[in-house]
């Protein structure tokens, strides 16, 4: 059960974001580390989309999530051997960064009779520590995976290098926005560039100014959270 302070925090945060967020931009609540009770209460406050980062955590919460109110996305790094566990549980995968992963998603989606919407993750800052496709390779990569039978490329996602400098963040966001526009202009079959997922708790306002259509906010909704250590299987 949530106490009154937890409810008040979530309600204040969600309503505060939605009061200034343009209607065409989707608020995704990044729910890693948040309990099912918090997730469902966020839905009562106006959240319509959540994103989980870890397969095991998503599976442990899935039955308790109010799916009549919430659309579930997968936003974390996804290993190919875990695709089968979530393929029928999420409507969008944000983190496609290799042909091998895309092929596995297509294969597993075909087995459950669906076409999985995906976003291509772009390593916009060229960071070794982060996954994602290099910016200059993104257009070609998108074309490669678009031919897979059970995938629909729905846009791009990025996480820029961590910075408190709005100008630096803006430069990265504008760069990926241009890539997004360029790919959209090519009008390739099975590519519907409707989603540009960028911006998190600390930088979402800058991201929206630069053209984001979906922001991923975690601590900015749920407050500080405890994340259990990642096992070698994750």
Kindly report, residue by residue over 4-52, the tens digit of the pLDDT. Answer: 999 999 999 999 999 999 999 999 999 999 999 999 999 999 999 999 9
Residue 118's pLDDT is 98
| Residue 27, H or E segment | strand 26-30
Structure token pair of residue 127: 């960071």
Neighbours of 173 (CB within 10 A): 25
pLDDT at 140 over 50: yes
| DSSP H helical ranges for 88-218 | 99-111, 138-146, 166-186, 204-209
Residue 188's pLDDT is 78
User: Which residues, 6 or more positions from 139, have their beta carbon under 8 angstroms from its beta carbon?
Assistant: 179, 182, 183, 186
Kindly report, residue by residue over 84-132, the tens digit of the pLDDT. Answer: 999 999 999 999 999 999 999 999 999 999 999 999 999 999 888 888 9
Indicate the pLDDT class of residue 232, thresholds 50, 70 and 90: very low
- Report d(CA 224, CA 206) in Å as an integer: 22
pLDDT at 230 over 60: no
pTM for the whole structure:
0.93
Residue 162's pLDDT is 87
Which of 3, 2, 73, 68 is closest to 38 using CA atoms? 2
For residues 64-73, average pLDDT: 98
Structure token pair of residue 35: 């309990």
pLDDT at 229 over 60: no
Kindly report, residue by residue over 151-197, the tens digit of the pLDDT. Answer: 999 999 999 988 888 899 999 999 999 999 999 988 777 788 999 99
For the domain spanning 4-222, the CATH number is: 3.20.20.10
3-state class of 22 per DSSP? coil
Provide the residue ranges of all domains of the chain, joining segments of one domain with +.
4-222
Structure token pair of residue 103: 């092929």
- Report d(CA 156, CA 7) in Å as an integer: 33
For residues 75-84, average pLDDT: 97
Higher pLDDT, 8 or 231: 8
Residue 187's pLDDT is 78
Neighbours of 25 (CB within 10 A): 17
pLDDT at 136 over 70: yes
3-state class of 174 per DSSP? helix
Kindly report, residue by residue over 187-226, the tens digit of the pLDDT. Answer: 777 788 999 999 999 999 999 999 999 999 999 999 986 5
Indicate the pLDDT class of residue 227, thresholds 50, 70 and 90: low
For residues 66-73, average pLDDT: 98
Neighbours of 144 (CB within 10 A): 13
Q: What is the DSSP letter of 213?
A: S
């Amino acid at each position: 059960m949530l106490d009154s302070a937890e409810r008040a925090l979530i309600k204040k945060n969600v309503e505060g974001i939605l009061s200034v967020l343009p209607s065409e931009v989707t608020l995704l609540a990044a729910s890693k580390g948040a309990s099912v009770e918090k997730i469902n209460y966020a839905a009562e406050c106006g959240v319509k989309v959540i994103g989980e980062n870890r397969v095991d955590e998503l599976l442990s919460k899935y039955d308790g999530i109010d799916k009549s109110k919430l659309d579930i996305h997968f936003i974390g790094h996804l290993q190919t051997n875990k695709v089968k566990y979530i393929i029928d549980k999420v409507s969008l995968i944000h983190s496609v960064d290799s042909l091998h992963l895309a092929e596995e998603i297509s294969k597993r989606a075909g087995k459950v009779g669906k076409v999985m919407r995906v976003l291509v993750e772009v390593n916009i800052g060229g960071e070794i520590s982060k996954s994602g496709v290099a910016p200059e390779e993104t257009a070609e990569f998108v074309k490669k995976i678009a031919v897979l039978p059970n995938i629909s490329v729905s846009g791009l996602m990025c996480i820029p290098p961590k910075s408190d400098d709005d100008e630096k963040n803006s430069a990265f966001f504008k760069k990926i926005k241009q890539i997004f526009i360029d790919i959209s202009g090519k009008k390739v079959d099975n590519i519907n560039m409707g989603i540009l997922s960028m911006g998190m708790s600390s930088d979402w306002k800058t991201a929206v100014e630069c053209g984001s259509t979906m922001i991923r906010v975690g601590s900015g909704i749920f407050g500080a959270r405890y994340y259990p250590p990642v096992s070698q299987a994750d």
